Amino acid sequence: MFGTRLAAAMDEHGPLCVGIDPHEHLLASWGLPASAAGVREFALRAVSELKGSVAAVKPQSAFFEQYGSAGVAALEETLAAARGAGLLTVLDVKRGDIGSTMGAYAKAYLDPASALAADSITVSPYLGFGTLEPAFELAAAHDKGVFVLALTSNPEGAEVQHAESDGESVAGTIVSRVRQRNAQTLGSAEGPGPFGLVVGATIGTAAHTLGFDPSDCGGPVLAPGVGAQGAGRDELRAVFGDRALASGQVLATASRAVLSAGPDGLADSAVALNRALTAAD
């Protein structure tokens, strides 16, 4: 299952996932145009340089989509290149819809027959957790993963994620539902489940204040916010605790902190950040 594959990759390469976010200022710093061609060159170069250095990469779909069909074609090439390089992919699409529409999104990103298929995707549960079932079903059928937004670091998220229903926060309910869905999928099998959470690395003690452990989901946790957004090992420890970090459950995501090193310094920057995240106290 995806959870086992990800755990093995993290054990081999460390907990770092590098976001492939071709911001215009990064394209300029790499000497590339703000165009589909520039994004394509940026992303393919990043994949090539990061091969063998990190467990996974996380292309942000929006930065490709903004350039229309040529940008989407560049995303397809990036996902194919990552597969060829042995890098697991987390496609950051944050899709969330109902019924057949969610089923179509699932096919687009989780069906191996699709040119946009990734190893895992991010999804939003805020139209109701049950609406994500097509993604869970297709992921389980094809050894893919799903990361569900639970507790994000943007200040606007608190009005929904911190809200309470029947004495439990919305974010806490998401954790419980992901844990249940993993248990259902795993059955009697051992190991981490294929379904995880997105929990910001810079939220501090917010989860504990709301009364739940974000690592208690039975699967991996994607933790954006490392590096340029201010999180390091201490911040990860504050959010997830030593047990989750030591078990290799937390996939820490950095983008600008690595990408700003430029194409020639990319691998060294990723290796250094991986070491910093795993350094002994």
CATH number at residue 219: 3.20.20.70
* Domain-embedded: residue 271: no
- The model carries a pTM of 0.96
Which of 129, 238, 117 is CA-nearest to residue 178?
129
Residue 176, SS3? helix
The answer to whether 251 and 223 have CB atoms below 8 angstroms apart is: yes
- 133-144 per-position pLDDT tens digit: 999 999 999 999
Assess contact for 258 and 21: CB atoms under 8 A. no
Give the per-residue SS3 of 206-257: HHHHHCCCCCCCCCCEEEECECCCCECHHHHHHHHHHHHHHCCCEEEEECHH
Cβ neighbours around 242 below 10 Å, total: 10
Given the residues 51, 58, 94, 107, select the one marked as catalytic. 94
Pairing mode of beta strands 168-169, 164-165? antiparallel
Write out residues in the chain with pLDDT < 70, as ranges.
Answer: 280-281
Within-domain flag for 233 = yes
pLDDT value of position 160 = 94
**Per-residue pLDDT, 281:** 53
Element (H, E) at 140: helix 133-141
- Bridge partners, residue 63, by sequence: none
Structural domain harbouring 198: 2-17+51-60+86-259
How many Å apart are CA 104 and CA 102, to the nearest integer? 5
Establish if 136 belongs to a structural domain: yes
In a domain? residue 273: no
- For residue 120, list its beta bridge partners: 90, 145
- Whether residue 208 lies inside any domain: the answer is yes
In a domain, 26, yes or no: no
Identify whether 80 is part of a domain: no
In tens, the pLDDT along 18-71 reads 999 999 999 999 999 999 999 999 999 999 999 999 999 999 999 999 999 999
Rounded to whole angstroms, the Cα distance separating 13 from 4 reads 14
- Neighbouring CB atoms inside 10 A of 229's CB total 17
* Cβ contact 218:193 at 8 Å: yes
Task: Let me know if residue 131 belongs to a domain.
Answer: yes
**Type of residue numbered 192:** P
What is residue 173's predicted lDDT score, i.e. its pLDDT? Answer: 96
How many domains is the chain partitioned into structurally? 1
Residue 107 appears among annotated catalytic residues:
no
Record the tokens describing residue 139, joined without a space. 């992921």
